[in-house]
Structure 1
């Protein structure tokens, strides 16, 4: 059992994360699940109620027992690393609230190693074929137009599915540049290609629901906000028809956008800004092109790297 004080402490931590770091709702939900799971384990491990005093007394052996438990129940190395990160963040915050509390035992635990999965890009011909095939999945013309508009927008602008579906009637007709709020509340400016503007215009022209400023731009068949799963299913059908691998997902369109720009000679720094990545190294890993090509682009973007000065 977790004491009311411990539960309140977790909720206060989550509120602080959301307020100070503008963490996404999905991130906060994952943190909450990980922390409550951790505290529930400790309560069972020690027996009795898990209060603040016991939380602050968490030892290195407690941490090892918890990670071993997570591994034994089938949690992947990536899941364990994410959960450990949440626990460490909570204990850092807790130490700032209580100057007499030393979180070293928790913070010293090493994170499980895992290989970060990188989505594979679609070939340019495959990306176009996906858009064409998506159009043939729906029986209602406006739904077909909606799916084409959403998929075209994700590919043409490098948007995450959540970013595309966060657009509202206020964004239509699409301007030449969009202000996108991405992960952690970070804003970026993304140019919108004519093909994407045309696809969205074709959809809004026949959408049976009114496009009020605060209404979602992409609508479900009953008029509410379009569920991401609907687009994922459309992509699944399209890739099966085209014989594409399971990696051909909506997120792969964003990856394809970046890779195709880079292969066409795009500047790595510019692509980083378009994707909204915090660091250049993330973009390098994400684009997954040959090391020699990355270094060449990096040196062109940063003359000092080539000159040694």
Structure 2
């Protein structure tokens, strides 16, 4: 009886109202989001095709980069189409089940991407600090197991919030000030205590992205200590260059994520439209910039992309 009452209290749908206070700018915001999403789709697709077609790029570093590109494609695709639908007033409704599915997808991908960034940091550590064992430690089998482990961890961490939200009574509250569904935004519509949701969110963030960020920081401390002891003065800049792209991607991934996470839970004076705007930029800006950063800074990728584009041009003229 109790379970049926809980399920009966769930609304059939939610209404996403977009970004309150910025309604007059919806057209320009939607154009910007659409352009960035298009660049993200194109850039990550080119990166994936390039790495898959070129056997010389079938190394751990580039295989992890493939996983990162897949995560970026899925993250932006899980959110941007609905965001544009809301901003263009095509459809502002989302079913309760669809909302939970979208929320699960977003956080599942986020936790998986965090694990992949950690794996990439470990890859750089082995390549720089223990290069002789690189091929023995990071085999294709190990890379595949790392990917599977990232998916299993993401599922285990993000599956419970579905039940934490389904157990809440919503008392007819359906209007959500956002462009897509996220955990605390849905929980705040409930007419009950959401302390469990808040603290689970804190614990999940710490046990996934928090520990990953700490482990990445430790990895780079060890890398920099190793570089400091290199005998050749030319070796350090060359080795650091291989880490530069990864460090840029890490900064784009963790800094806005942690700011948004802390502001949502503890920043009561941060304007809501700022938080929602940041949340929308977060799911489209890193996916757009990641392939550009790696394409510009990584010589092997840049050369192979140019080669594929030349072949495509020749094929088109033929």
Bigger fraction of residues in helix: 2
TM over 0.5: no
Shorter-chain TM-score range: under 0.3
Larger RCO (CA under 8 A, 6+ residues apart):
2
Q: What's the TM-score once normalised by structure 2's chain length?
A: 0.27
Bigger Cα Rg: 1
